[in-house]
């Protein structure tokens, strides 16, 4: 019987991203207790949520480069332990600030959240490097979508997990428990994973042949074995496809992080819901996305095989999805009831997640040997949204009310749609990076 050990690797990455997202989103459900304890106003609270993004930016950049240089296993172990430690440290962030930073609890949260973000930053660029090493060419879209499935799943499960923990203990113990789960994952992963399938005794010869097959490659695609040392990190900025792809991905991340960080406070302030109701209401915006993130990978792979055209399969899918996303979020301010708001939020986020795998697949399609580095640069650009979304929303809410945050989300989606019109995936553009040997 043929083994498909690579799918076990993919499932472990899904579990890791779920833990990852619960870790970063749980603070939103503890906001009432934290704000009450330290007296943060909406702008300060937006800053607390946004500090994560400053570290995340640089972690994603350096993590991708390190995954190419040292291998993804090394990076996984370092960052897994790192983010788990800083999740635990979040329980003491305010007290650290009061004791060490001139009596400023806000500074304490800033330091811990930035370090936490830095440790989590390499996650998706390292996933991309892992998929470049382990996925077969014809299932790249699906493999990427499997890794990304943890994003909406983790975001959806954040609400019941955080509310359940907060109902039986306090917010500080919650962070200690969540951080401990991450450390458990690291130990299991270290025993299962190798940088390459060739190094893993659980990968059969048949499976390895499937992973390294060139049978299904399109003319402008490459496999990971074709390494070219002449392609440097700065060549990313010479390729319009990679640059516009990163800008398109910014739109996804803006909406994703907006919903993750501000939905609980929005529901409490605008509709008066208590914490006991948020365990299910906080799940609703993510339900559709859990299905569409996988569906999008399958649709993209199907279009690739059916049309033989990567531009249709990747950027075409993203353009249509982002147009529908923008429409849904622009309509939210017109909804008069909580049902209308939640339905539009759910559908809009589902469309937003449909092309999530596309942004990473474009990188692998274009240059798999630099999937970590180019993925890291892409994520660096994209993750400016993890700073902009929560901080800008704080100012918008104070100045114009909650409706303005949904209008901003619609504008972000429209911006991403325009950017993806200029994305032409594949190796044709990357060929100009190669130097002619003397």
Chunk the chain into consecutive blocks of 10 residues (it has 438) and report each block's average pLDDT, rounded to whole numbers.
Answer: 79 91 89 91 86 87 82 93 96 94 92 94 85 79 79 86 93 96 94 93 89 69 57 84 94 91 84 78 88 89 86 93 97 91 95 91 81 83 88 90 94 96 71 40
Question: Locate tokens 């339900």: which residue?
Answer: 287
pLDDT of amino acid 154: 87
Burial class of 214 by CB neighbour count within 10 A (0 to 12, 13 to 18, 19+): exposed
Residue 425 to residue 191: CA distance in whole angstroms: 35
Residue 417 to residue 6: CA distance in whole angstroms: 33
Residue 96 to residue 105: CA distance in whole angstroms: 7
Go through the domains of the chain in sequence order and give each one's CATH number. Answer: 5-196+233-431 (1.20.1250.20)
Nearest by Cα to 391 from 28, 25, 46: 46
pLDDT of amino acid 432: 45
Q: How does DSSP classify residue 92?
A: T
Angle of CA points 51, 53, 55, to nearest 5°: 85
pLDDT of amino acid 221: 57
Residue 47 to residue 52: CA distance in whole angstroms: 9
Q: Are the CB atoms for 133 and 117 separated by under 8 Å?
A: no
> How many residues would you count in the chain?
438
pLDDT of amino acid 220: 56
């Amino acid at each position: 019987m043929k083994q498909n050990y690579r799918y076990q690797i993919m499932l472990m990455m899904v579990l890791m991203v779920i833990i990852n997202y619960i870790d970063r989103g749980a603070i939103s459900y503890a906001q009432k207790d934290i704000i009450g304890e330290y007296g943060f106003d909406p702008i300060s609270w937006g800053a607390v949520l946004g500090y994560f993004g400053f570290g995340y930016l640089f972690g994603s950049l350096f993590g991708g480069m390190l995954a190419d240089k040292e291998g993804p296993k090394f990076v996984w172990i370092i960052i897994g332990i790192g983010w788990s430690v800083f999740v635990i440290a979040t329980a003491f962030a305010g007290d650290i600030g009061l004791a060490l930073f001139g009596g400023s609890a806000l500074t304490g949260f800033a330091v811990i959240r930035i370090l936490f973000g830095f440790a989590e930053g390499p996650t998706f660029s390292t996933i991309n490097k892992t998929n470049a090493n382990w996925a077969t060419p014809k299932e790249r879209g699906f493999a990427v979508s499997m890794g990304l499935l943890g994003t909406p799943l983790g975001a959806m499960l954040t609400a019941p997990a955080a509310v359940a923990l907060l109902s039986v203990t306090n917010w500080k113990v919650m962070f200690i428990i969540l951080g401990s789960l991450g450390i458990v994952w690291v130990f299991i992963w270290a025993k299962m994973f190798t940088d390459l399938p060739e190094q893993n005794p659980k990968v059969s010869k048949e499976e390895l042949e499937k992973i390294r097959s060139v049978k299904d490659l399109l003319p402008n695609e490459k496999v990971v074995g074709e390494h070219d040392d002449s392609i440097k990190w700065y060549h990313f900025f010479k390729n319009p496809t990679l640059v516009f792809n990163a800008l398109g991905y910014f739109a996804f991340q803006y909406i994703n992080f907006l919903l993750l960080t501000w939905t609980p406070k929005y529901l409490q302030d605008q509709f008066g819901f208590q914490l006991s109701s948020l365990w299910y209401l906080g799940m609703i915006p993510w339900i559709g996305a859990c299905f569409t993130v996988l569906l999008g990978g399958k649709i993209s792979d199907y279009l690739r095989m059916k049309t033989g055209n990567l531009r249709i399969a990747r950027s075409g899918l993203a353009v249509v999805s982002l147009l529908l996303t923008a429409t849904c979020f622009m309509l939210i301010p017109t909804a008069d009831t909580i049902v209308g708001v939640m339905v539009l939020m759910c559908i809009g986020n589902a469309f937003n997640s449909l092309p999530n795998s596309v942004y990473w697949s474009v990188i692998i399609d274009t240059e798999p040997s630099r999937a970590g580095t180019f993925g890291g640069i892409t994520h660096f650009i994209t993750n400016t949204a993890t700073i902009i979304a929560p901080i800008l929303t704080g100012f918008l809410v104070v100045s114009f009310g909650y409706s303005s945050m949904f209008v901003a989300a619609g504008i972000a989606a429209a911006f991403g749609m325009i950017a993806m019109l200029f994305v032409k995936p594949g190796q044709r553009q990357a060929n100009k990076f190669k130097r002619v040997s003397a």
